[in-house]
Structure 1
Amino acid sequence: MKKTNIVLVLADNLGWGELGCYGGGAIRGAPTPRIDALAKQGIQLLNFNVESDCVPTRSALMTGRHPIRTGALQSVPAGLPQGLIPWEVTIAELLSKAGYATAMFGKWHLGDKEGRYPKDKGFDEWYGIPRTTNESMFTEQVGFDPEVVDVPYVMEGFKGRPAEKREIYDLEMRRRIDGVLTEKSCDFIRRKVAADEPYFLYVPLTQLHFPTLPHRDFEGQTKKGDFADSMIELDARVGQIIDAVNETGTQDNTLFIFASDNGPEYRRPWRGSAGMWTGTYHTSMEGSLRVPFIARWPGKIPPGRVSNEIFHVVDIYSTLAALVDIPIPQDRPIDGVNQLPFLKGETQNSAREGFVYFIKNEMRAAKWRDWKMHFVWEKEPNEGANHLETPYLFNLVQDPKEETDVSSTQGWVRGPIRKMINAFQASLKENPPIPPGAPDEFLPKR
C-alpha cells in the first residue's frame, strides 16, 4: 500500500479568533477563504491545545513530550544553550527511518548550533530561521552592535552537511520570508511526487509573529493595516501549498494539517484576537491554550466535521506515528496519544480527557473535560503571577471567559483533576526532567 504523504503547516501566534471559520475573517478586516474552505473539507477542532509560547509548543510537537520533560521551556537569545538535546527523538526522525523524505521550511526555535539544527533532527532539507522573527528588528534598532550580538540570518541545511547562512534576517526579509518558504514547500511537493517518494513536509510559517509585516505584494490590500494584510497573506500562502498538493493529484493520499503554535500575539501594535476566549499566549488563560486546528484527508477524514473534544499538540506525534504504523520510543515517557481513530471519525470521542499545563517549570493549570483549574492566576503577561491558596475552577462551557469560580458548586471535579496531576507528578519523579541548557552529551537518568 502506498504510504500517505503528510503536510503540516504551522502558523505563528495565530489566535483562535482570527480565521473566518473560527468567527474572525472579515470581522478582523481579513477574509480567509482558503483556510475556511480547508475546514469544510475535513475536521475542525474547537479544543486544540498548545503550550505557553513558541519554544515549548514546538518541542511538544516534535517530541510528543510535554516541554517540562525536554527542558525546551522558553525562547533564549542567540549564543546561549537552547533547544533539544540529541537524545530526543523527533517525529521527523521516526518518519525518516520509515522511508519518508522529510523537509522543513520555516522557523525552528529548537536549537541554533550544529547538532541541533533541523537537518540534524530528522529533516533531509531545511531553509528558514533557527530562532525567532522579532530578531528581524535587531539590525535597524538604535545602538545595535554586531560585535556583541549575533546578526540574525536565514539559513539552509541538508542532512549530513553543515548548515549555511543565506541572507541577513532584517525587516525587508521578514516581509519576504513566508513567500520563499511557500515556494520551497511547493517545489518539494512536486519533486517528491515526481520521484514517487512519500514525504513529510513541515512548514512553520512566520506570520503572525511580531513584527507583523506583510509581503509587499499584500501590503495595503485590505486597507485595514499591516496585521490584516498579514492575515490575508497567511491565507494565500496556505492556499498555495494546498494547490501544490491538488495539482499533483495526490490530495486523496495526503494528510494536510493546518494549526497554530500559540494563542494570539499580545504585543502592541500587533495585538491579535482569541475570539470568545480570554487572554493571549504567555498565560494560562484559554485564549493561550486554544488555537485553530484543521485536518483534511479525503476519503479518510469525513468532511464538514466540527468537534469540541480535547486534543493536545503532543498528540500529533503519536497520531502520525500510528498513521505510518511505526513504533514510538519506549525508553521515555511519551505524553501524546493516538488520535487517528478520532480524526477519521471511527469514534466521536477524543482519546484524551485532559492535561496539565506548565509555563516554564511551574504548573499553572490543568484541564479536564469541560473544566479547568488554575493554581496560578495571571490574565495578562507580566501582570504579576498570583499563586492561589484555593485554586480557581471554571466550567469552560458555561463560562468561556473564565470569570466565575465554581469550586464551591462543582467541587467534585477537583478529585479527578488532582488524580491526573498526581499521576503526572509521579511520572516526573520516576523520569526526572532534562534541565534547560543541558549539553549535547546529557543523558536522562533511568
Structure 2
Amino acid sequence: MSRDPSQPNIVLILADNLGWGELGCYGGGVLRGAATPHIDRLATEGLLLHNFNVESDCVPTRSALMTGRHPIRTGCRQSVPPGFPQGLTPWERTLAEELKRVGYHTAHHGKWHLGDIPGRYPSDRGFDEWYGIPRTTDETQFTTSPGYTPEVAELPYIMQGKAGTPSTNVVVYDLEQRRGIDETLVRKSKDWLSRVASTGQPFFLYHPLVHLHFPTLPHRDFAGKTGQGDFADSMVEMDSRVGELLTAIDELGLRENTVVIFASDNGPEFREPYRGTAGPWTGTYHTAMEGSLRVPFIVRWPGRVPQNVTSNELVHVTDVFTTLLHVAGTAPPADRPIDGINQLPFFLNPTTEKSPRDGFLFYIKKELVAIKWRDWKLHFIWSPAVNQSKGKLESPYLFNVVRDPKEESNVMSFNTWVLQPMLRLRAEFMRSLAGDPAPRDELKEDWDL
C-alpha cells in the first residue's frame, strides 16, 4: 500500500441518484424510514459539503467527473439508449488515465455509462480492471417488458475486462441481477483492495454504486428490513455496502493514507414508486432546480481534512478531477480548457479558506438553462419539474437560493446588478468554448430524446 503522503490512495464512491435529503447526515435517514449510520459516521470523520453541484443526469455528471470538463465540451450531454453512439472520445483524458500516468493502480467496479463499445470501456480508459455495467439500470426491465425480444433491442449485460484485453459479457443484467449487483461490486472491490494493498504503489478505486437508480430494488437480504418499502430497504443496503468498503479499508491498514470521497451523481429519482427527496430544495434530476444541482458530498483524509466540519461553500463536480490530481501530486492536462478548479486548499482548511469557485453554467443537453453564481440562480429556461418546461423565458427568473431555497420568489426586478457578473461568467465560458481544441467525434450526434 502507498505510505507516501505525497501520493495517497484514493477511493471514490459514487451513489446513483441519491438526493440531498436522503441521508441522516443531511436531515433524512430515519425520517426517510432508513437509518444510514455508516455514511453518517463517515461525515463526522471529515468534511461534509452542503453546496456540491453536479450535472443534469448520469452521463453528463460522470463525464465531468472523469475529465474535469463540462459535458457541453466533451459531447457527453445526455444518456442515450443502447446501440446509439455514446461515451468519451479517445481525445479526452480521464482521471484514471492521469493517475495511472503517475504510478497509480486503478480499478472500476460499478456503473460506467461513458462508453459501451470496444475502445470506450473502463479498461480502455485508464482502469487496470473493471466489473459492472457499461450503461444503466433501467435496462434490467427489458427482459420482463411486453413485446421485448433481443432481436429488436440488445440485451443488457454485466461485463468485465482488464487493460489490454477485450471486455466480455458476464451475465444478462435482469431484475434479479439488479437486486444482487451491489453486493457483487463490493466483493470485487474488497478483493482488489486486498491484492493491491501489499504492492507499495498508490491506488485509485472508483466504485460507482448502482443504488438508488430505478428500479430501486434491494438485495433479498435487505428486502422488508425497514417496513417502508423497496426504496427505504435499498437505502439501508446502500449504507451497509459503503460500510463494508470502509471496514475493508480499515482492516487492510489503509485508512491513514487514503482519501475517501462519497458523493452522488445526480439529484433524486422522480419516478414513482421510487421517488426520492432533495430535502429543503425543489426539484429532481433532469431539471435546473437546486434539488438537481445539489447532492451529498463527503471527503475524509485522516490528519489532513479536519473532522466533523460542514460547509456551504460552492464546489462543482468538475472540481473533483482537478483536486484529486493535485492530491496525487500532479496537474491537469494543459492542452485543453479544464473547468475543474483545485479545491484542495479549501478541503484542507475549510474553516478558514473559501472555495475559489464563484459559479458555473448549467446545461441540459445543448441548452444553457441556468447560471449559478454565489448565492444566486438565473434561469433562462423554466422547468421546475421533469416534462413541465415553460420554454425560454422572455425575462429570466432570478432567485437568491439562501433566502429562497425553493426558488419561489423571482427577484429580478430588484437585483438587475447580478446580471453583470453572471453574464460576464457566461461570456468568458463561451470564449473558452469557441477556442476548445477538442475534435468532433464522428460518432457524436444530437440525440434529442
Both proteins in one fold, TM over 0.5 = yes
One-letter code aligned to 1:376: I
Among residues 229, 233, 257, which one is paired with 2:233 in the alignment? 229
Counterpart mapping for 1:398-437 below 5 A: 398-431=403-436
Distance 1:400 1:294 in 2: 21
Among residues 112, 116, 130, which one is paired with 2:120 in the alignment? 116
1:406 offset after TM fit, Å? Answer: 1.1
Distance 1:85 1:249 in 2: 38
Distance 1:161 1:83 in 2: 19
Partner secondary structure for residue 390 of structure 1: strand
Indicate the residue corresponding to 1:259 in structure 2.
263
Counterpart mapping for 1:214-293 below 5 A: 214-293=218-297
- Deviation string, structure 1 residues 252-285 (Cα, Å, up to 9, x no partner): 1000000000000011111010100000000000
Say how many residue pairs are matched: 440
Distance 1:17 1:348 in 2: 26
Counterpart mapping for 1:382-393 below 5 A: 382-393=387-398
1:119 offset after TM fit, Å? Answer: 0.2
Indicate the residue corresponding to 2:162 in structure 1.
158
Distance 2:321 2:160 in 1: 25
Distance 1:21 1:308 in 2: 14
- Deviation string, structure 1 residues 302-323 (Cα, Å, up to 9, x no partner): 0011000000000001001111
Partner secondary structure for residue 413 of structure 2: coil
Indicate the residue corresponding to 1:370 in structure 2.
375
* Kept in 2: contact 1:71–1:433 (CA 8 A): no
Structure 2 gap ranges (5+): none
Counterpart mapping for 1:84-103 below 5 A: 84-103=88-107
Distance 1:385 1:136 in 2: 33
One-letter code aligned to 1:270: Y
- Deviation string, structure 1 residues 141-165 (Cα, Å, up to 9, x no partner): 1111111211100000100000010
Distance 2:389 2:49 in 1: 31
One-letter code aligned to 2:379: H
Distance 2:200 2:141 in 1: 41
Distance 2:26 2:353 in 1: 21
Distance 2:270 2:276 in 1: 6
Counterpart mapping for 1:20-419 below 5 A: 20-345=24-349, 347-419=352-424
Indicate the residue corresponding to 2:22 in structure 1.
18
* Kept in 1: contact 2:60–2:77 (CA 8 A): yes
Partner secondary structure for residue 194 of structure 1: coil
Distance 2:396 2:80 in 1: 31
C-alpha change, 1:438 and 1:274, in structure 2 (3 Å) is farther
One-letter code aligned to 1:94: E
- Deviation string, structure 1 residues 396-417 (Cα, Å, up to 9, x no partner): 1100000001112222111101
Structure 1 gap ranges (5+): none
Distance 2:253 2:228 in 1: 37
Greater CA drift, 423-432 or 312-321: 423-432
One-letter code aligned to 2:80: V
* Kept in 2: contact 1:371–1:393 (CA 8 A): yes
RMSD: 1.3
- Report runs of 4+ in structure 1 exceeding 4 Å deviation: 432-435
Distance 1:160 1:54 in 2: 27
Distance 1:196 1:228 in 2: 40
Partner secondary structure for residue 155 of structure 1: strand
1:432 offset after TM fit, Å? Answer: 6.6
1:330 offset after TM fit, Å? Answer: 1.0
One-letter code aligned to 1:15: G
One-letter code aligned to 1:253: N
C-alpha change, 1:76 and 1:213, in structure 2 (3 Å) is same
* Kept in 1: contact 2:91–2:439 (CA 8 A): no
1:438 offset after TM fit, Å? Answer: 3.4
